Chains A and B, each alone.
Chain A
Amino acid sequence: MRSPRIPILKLHNCLLVSIQWELDDKTALQFQEDLLNKIHVTSANGVVIDLTSIDFIDSFIAKVLGDVIDMSKLMGAKVVITGIQPAVAITLIELGIGLNDVLTAIDLEKGLEKLQQELGE
């Protein structure tokens, strides 16, 4: 069965992505493509990716996530990752994926706040 695409919502000048289930490799790549297209179409300058409901992550998904962040940056959109669970944080650090220079926040609310702050300046 094909897993459904991840919805990407537009909110003012930002894009909102909430990942609600464990991604498989295909969905992750699909998501990467979708997000970049959406940034291009809406010319958004900020993206919030919420991972609150993810409590497990593998190295491939982590890499894709890192790539998406770098790519979005190239397209001029700032990315904030929100709601990383402790277990996920430990996995990422152990895999050596520090997601350096990425903005993080504890939840969506704080994430949007942070993004507005960054964009406002």
Chain B
Amino acid sequence: MNSVILNYIQENKDQIFNEWIESLKENGDERVVKVVSDQVFNSTSYEFIDVIIASVKNSTEEFTSRLSDFSEKVVRLGWPLSFVTKALNIFGKIVFQKMQGDGLVNNENQMDTVFEFDRWMNPMVNEMVNMYSSTWERTVSMQKIALQELSAPLIPVFDNITVMPLVGTIDTERAKQIMENLLQGTVKHRSEVVLIDITGVPVVDTMVAHHIIQAADAVRLVGAKCMIVGIRPEIAQTIVNLGIDLNQITTKNTLKKGVEAALEITKRKIVKVEEAE
């Protein structure tokens, strides 16, 4: 750490701070300035200066941990990364310009000061970017897990009758998972009839149809009967227009009809309870 720079910041703390805030409000994205309340904005910016000044007194390690704490806070506040990096940039510029104005930077030590500045600013920017990107990565991976959990549930609705409702687009990876879940569930629940409900699948193209047919074939191999339900008119049209052969598989238009047919296959039916005398 260059103590000249830091001492300068500490001495001119309030002045730099005010100028920084002004310039941020001028240059900053209007959206951010509007969304973030003045109070939060000011206190957070003030905290940042404190963090920097603390580095004069404390060791590098402590500074790093404080900096990462601070970055975490900024991430939690939900400020855009572009705004934060810009703010850091402007802060550096202001300090540099003020130091130049006060004659602390002259022709002799110009290069050294620029290098020092670089060494001082870069870790801070890096830390911010790292914090943001790791938060994003965490979010993405959590969403991926959630998506996987939601992607292929298998519900045993009656003895020997199981339903798999599919919602959303089906790609190859998901199709594989659907197939695995479907077969394992079929064996586990000892199902005789498995209904695949495609009401929630927006588009059925050749690839999706191929995956569904494969799944149905595989279900047949493990000894159950597969039925595709929830075929909407437009899906029926696409299937026929694409020349996909679904003759081997029973299809129904609604889950209700599918369940009725499944009960029939397993030699059961739903009857109305007679009124007790």
Interface residues of A (CB under 8 A from B): 81-86, 88-90, 92-93, 98-100, 104-107, 110-111
Number of interface residues of B (CB under 8 A): 19
Listed by A's residue number, 30 A-B pairs whose Cβ atoms lie within 8 Å are: A81-B223, A84-B222, A84-B223, A85-B222, A86-B186, A86-B218, A86-B222, A89-B218, A89-B219, A89-B221, A89-B222, A90-B179, A90-B183, A92-B221, A93-B214, A93-B217, A98-B217, A98-B221, A99-B221, A100-B248, A104-B221, A104-B222, A104-B223, A105-B223, A106-B191, A106-B192, A106-B222, A106-B223, A107-B190, A107-B223
Nearest-Cβ distance from residue B212 to partner chain A, whole angstroms: 12
> A-side binding surface: helix, strand, loop or mixed?
mixed
Q: Does B66 contact A (CB under 8 A)?
A: no
Picked from B184, B191, B192, B214, the residue with its CB within 8 Å of the CB of A86 is: B184
Once bound together, how far apart are the Cα atoms of A82 and B190, in whole Å?
Answer: 12
Contacts of A105 in B (CB 8 A): 223
Nearest-Cβ distance from residue B275 to partner chain A, whole angstroms: 37
Contacts of A89 in B (CB 8 A): 183, 218-219, 221-222
**Are the C-beta atoms of A93 and B221 separated by less than 8 Å?**
yes
Contacts of B219 in A (CB 8 A): 89
Once bound together, how far apart are the Cα atoms of A99 and B223, in whole Å?
Answer: 12
